[in-house]
Amino acid sequence: MALSPAAYGGFLAGKKRPEYRYELFTCAWHGHELAGQQTAEVTPEDAVVVRDVGPQRWCRCQRCDGWFAVPIPDDPSEEQVPRRDQIDLPLRAPALRDRYVLRLLELDRMLHVVTLTFLAIAFIAFATHNRSLHADYQNIMNALNGGGAAALKFRRVLGSLRKAFDYTPAQLFVLAAICIGYACLEAVEAVEAVEDG
């Protein structure tokens, strides 16, 4: 039965996000972790992770718990299904969620590094071309003086940049050095987090 848009919205609002969404996303991105896919012999004791049903083999994903049909291998690479203690279980549940949170923190740090580096470059460029930039700024402001309403509005916006010229080149170099220092600190922390993770 087709639902009206309002009813469909209510239907979606009542749906909870699956608790194993991190597992689903990871499997969609990296593929499923199927045990026993390349095994020659499947016994009833292996039924928790792999089963042969007629001409079809069903393998259970060690991450998302889904069962997936795979062809029975013509050239199996292992004799028996690995025992539980021989299987490297992938991250799941809170550990997997924590991995994603850490990755987001690393991404946030890298964005800080990029932003701080651009700021440092801008400060240095501004410090080394301070005089010529100031002259160009004055020329633009003079050219906009006496223009129409749009020109006056633009001049007002540019007027807020005047304070940038109050800083001496030495002060701008200090600001650039502070930005570079923070960028290095963030970069080191991001690299350490990647190595730990």
Q: How many CA atoms lie within 13 A of 52 on its CB side?
A: 16
Smallest distance from Zn ion to CB 63, Å: 5
C-alpha closest to that of 170 among 128, 137, 135: 128
Sequence-separated (6 or more) residues with CB below 8 Å from residue 35: 49, 50, 59, 60, 62, 81, 82, 87
The region of 3-11, 23-31, 77-85, 186-194 touching Zn ion under the rule CB under 5 A is 23-31
If binding is defined by CB under 5 A, does position 96 make contact with Zn ion?
no
Smallest distance from Zn ion to CB 69, Å: 14
Print the binding letters for residues 53-72 with Zn ion: x by CB under 5 A, - otherwise: --------x-xx--------
Smallest distance from Zn ion to CB 62, Å: 8
Nearer to Zn ion, 64 or 190 (CB): 64
If binding is defined by CB under 5 A, does position 27 make contact with Zn ion?
yes
The letter for the amino acid at 181 is G
Nearer to Zn ion, 32 or 109 (CB): 32
C-alpha closest to that of 114 among 190, 174, 183, 173: 183
- b/e code 52-69 from CB counts within 10 Å (16+ = b): beeeebbbbbbbbeeeee
Smallest distance from Zn ion to CB 60, Å: 9
Residues forming the site for Zn ion (CB under 5 A): 27, 32, 61, 63-64
